[in-house]
């Protein structure tokens, strides 16, 4: 088994060195014999195949009152499937150095696979079993449930988790986006094996399935592997509709009292949909304000000039039915008000005046270069290809991206800055911030 892991590591290491630049990457659209579409990037340098895929329907499809169903299902898919019990299934994976993973987002259920070519048929067979015939045996369900409940209990005293949960619940009350993907201490104990099977039945289907493959595999073989894993799934899913939503509570500040050394701050407001014509301008502007880890205005003002926090940042986050900009920091309790005042002032200044031309030029240069560096493994490339498909950006997006960034003018940036940051923020603070109280109720 050790030889397999060493072989996989060396192959992956060699693959990194051989990956093509994003601008030169040849992405093929292929269709399997069963009619399942996928994107393929061929790389013959090493005998390795990487698969990334997503089903529409993540935690938004959790049953009412049973938040965490999708997450519990994801953690149990490799705990036995088909004729294989959990131990045998894991032994098959380990003996062939096959990597499988499953993750749940709000809108999608994601999965990935990586295997040496000599074991790829076994890898795709094991994936098929996990997706089409998970066992959800009682002992496994209870063991994994206990692990998840233990994690949720720890989070009840974690200020970062409390601040984040409170922000989402306030921003999206009575909406699936306001629920925690991992569920709650009240909901997870109520999830039964039948709920898990019903989730799999409704979500895992061939329609609205997005697939990307990177590695030493031709189109014909890739199609056969796709069918090996996915062709036996139902033709259509059965998803519950999810309503459009906009974040509520803008202008509110919620302070949660918790006896911890520092206060944790989560802040955010209305974002931009990924298909919004202003998205790229907004992405650049947000990088200037808080998205650039060590170069943003927030980092310079809060960390470098005043030493109020080790870090502060924000990000654009988009879903199918909503979009937000959300960020956070942690600081001393007696200086939380000062740090928050700076964040709010810098956000207002960006909304009022936008970036400078020098800031815009520097951000453009960084975002173009960083994107290329972010595609340094087959797994990252496959994941990016899947996200591009989910966002409906087009198969030539990697080639067009730099030109799209360059096309953003200073007038665009200033106009979109006002649109993005002029609507106010919802703020949650957890700790004992001196002189800071809830407001805007």
Q: What token pair was written down for 102?
A: 């499953």
Query: CA-CA distance, 58 to 103, in Å (whole number)?
Result: 9
Q: What is the pLDDT along the chain (441 residues), one digit of tens a residue?
A: 444 444 444 444 444 444 455 656 899 999 999 999 999 999 988 899 999 999 999 999 999 999 999 999 999 999 999 999 999 999 999 999 999 999 999 999 999 999 999 999 999 999 999 999 999 999 999 999 999 999 999 999 999 999 999 999 999 999 999 999 999 999 999 999 999 999 999 999 999 999 999 999 999 999 999 999 999 999 999 999 999 999 999 999 999 999 999 999 999 999 999 999 999 999 999 999 999 778 899 999 999 999 999 999 999 999 999 999 999 999 999 999 999 999 999 999 999 999 999 999 999 999 999 999 899 999 999 999 999 999 999 999 999 999 999 999 999 999 999 999 999 999 999 999 999 999 987
Give the list of residues 6+ apart from residue 403 with CB closer than 8 angstroms, or none: none
**Contact (Cβ atoms closer than 8 angstroms) between residue 189 and residue 145:** yes
State the helix-helix crossing angle for 410-421 and 279-286, rounded to 10 degrees.
Answer: 80
How are beta strands 80-81 and 84-85 bridged, if at all? antiparallel
What gap in Å lies between CA 337 and CA 340, rounded to an integer? Answer: 5
Contact assessment for residue 60 and residue 175, using Cβ atoms and an 8 Å cutoff: no
| Token pair listed for 130 | 């996990």
Closest CA to 95 of 121, 78, 114, 119: 119
Locate 375 and state its tokens. 């595609």
Q: Which pair of tokens denotes residue 369?
A: 């270069």
pTM of the model: 0.93
Contacts of 10 (CB under 8 A, 6+ apart): none
pLDDT tens digits along 319-374: 999 999 999 999 999 999 999 999 999 999 999 999 999 999 999 999 999 999 89
Other C-beta atoms closer than 10 Å to the C-beta of 49 total: 25
- Other C-beta atoms lying within 10 Å of the C-beta of residue 365: 11
Q: Vertex 381, ends 376 and 383: CA angle to 5°?
A: 130
Per the rule left: phi > 0, alpha: psi between -120 and 50, beta: everything else, 11 is alpha
pLDDT of residue 8: 46
> 317 has which bridge partners?
324
pLDDT above 70 coverage of the chain, percent? 94
SS3 content of the chain, % helix, strand, coil (to 5): 50, 20, 35
Structure token pair of residue 223: 């199609």
Q: Convert the pLDDT of each residue in 273-317 to its tens digit.
A: 999 999 999 999 999 999 977 889 999 999 999 999 999 999 999
* 170 three-class SS: helix
pLDDT at residue number 294: 85
Domains of the chain from N-terminus onward: 2-230 (3.30.830.10), 253-431 (3.30.830.10)
- pLDDT number for residue 23: 59
User: At which residue do the structure tokens 């004729």 appear?
Assistant: 83
Residue among 142, 137, 409 at smallest CA distance from 285: 409
Tokens read off for 319: 């879903």
* Spatial CA neighbour of 34 closest among 257, 205, 268: 205
Q: For 16, phi and psi rounded to 5 degrees? A: -55, -45
- Three-class secondary structure of residue 36 per DSSP: coil
Q: Quick one: DSSP state of residue 23?
A: G
């Amino acid at each position: 088994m050790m030889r397999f892991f060493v072989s996989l590591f060396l192959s992956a290491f060699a693959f990194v060195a051989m990956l093509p630049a994003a601008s030169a990457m040849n992405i093929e659209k292929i269709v399997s014999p069963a009619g399942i579409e996928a994107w393929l990037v061929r790389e013959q340098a090493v005998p390795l195949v990487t698969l990334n895929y997503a089903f529409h329907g993540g935690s938004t499809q959790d049953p009412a009152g049973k938040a965490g169903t999708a997450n519990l299902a994801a953690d149990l898919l490799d705990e036995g499937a088909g004729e294989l019990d959990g131990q045998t299934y894991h032994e098959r994976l380990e003996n062939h150095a096959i990597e499988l993973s499953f993750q749940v987002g709000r809108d999608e259920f994601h999965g990935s696979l990586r295997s040496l070519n000599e074991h790829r048929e076994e890898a795709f067979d094991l994936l098929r079993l996990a997706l089409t015939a998970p066992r959800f045996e009682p002992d496994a369900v209870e063991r994994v449930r206990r692990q998840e409940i233990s994690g949720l209990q720890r989070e009840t005293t974690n200020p970062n988790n409390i601040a984040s949960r409170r922000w989402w619940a306030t921003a999206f009350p009575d909406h699936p986006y306001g629920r925690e993907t991992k569920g709650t201490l009240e909901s997870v104990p109520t999830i039964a094996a039948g709920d898990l099977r019903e989730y799999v039945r409704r979500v895992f289907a061939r329609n609205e399935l997005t697939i990307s493959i990177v590695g030493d595999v031709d189109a014909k073989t890739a199609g056969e592997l796709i069918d090996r894993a996915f062709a036996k799934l139902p033709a259509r899913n059965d998803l519950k509709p999810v309503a459009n939503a906009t974040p509520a509570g803008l202008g509110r500040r919620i302070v949660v009292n918790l006896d911890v050394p520092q206060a944790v701050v989560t802040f955010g407001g209305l974002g931009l949909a990924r298909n919004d014509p202003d998205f790229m301008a907004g992405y650049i502007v947000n990088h200037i304000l808080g998205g650039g880890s060590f170069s943003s205005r927030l980092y310079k003002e809060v960390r470098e000039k005043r030493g109020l926090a080790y870090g502060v940042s924000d990000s654009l986050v988009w879903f199918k039915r909503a979009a937000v900009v959300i960020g956070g920091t942690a600081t001393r309790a007696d200086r939380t008000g000062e740090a928050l005042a700076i964040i709010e002032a810098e956000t207002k200044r960006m909304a009022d005046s936008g970036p400078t031309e020098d800031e815009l030029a520097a951000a453009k240069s960084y975002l173009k270069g960083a994107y290329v560096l972010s595609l340094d493994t087959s797994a990252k490339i496959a994941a990016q290809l899947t996200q591009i498909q989910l966002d409906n950006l087009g198969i030539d997006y990697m080639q067009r991206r730099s030109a799209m960034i360059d096309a953003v003018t200073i007038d665009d940036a200033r106009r979109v800055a006002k649109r993005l940051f002029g609507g106010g923020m919802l703020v949650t603070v957890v700790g004992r911030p001196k002189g800071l109280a809830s407001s805007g109720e």
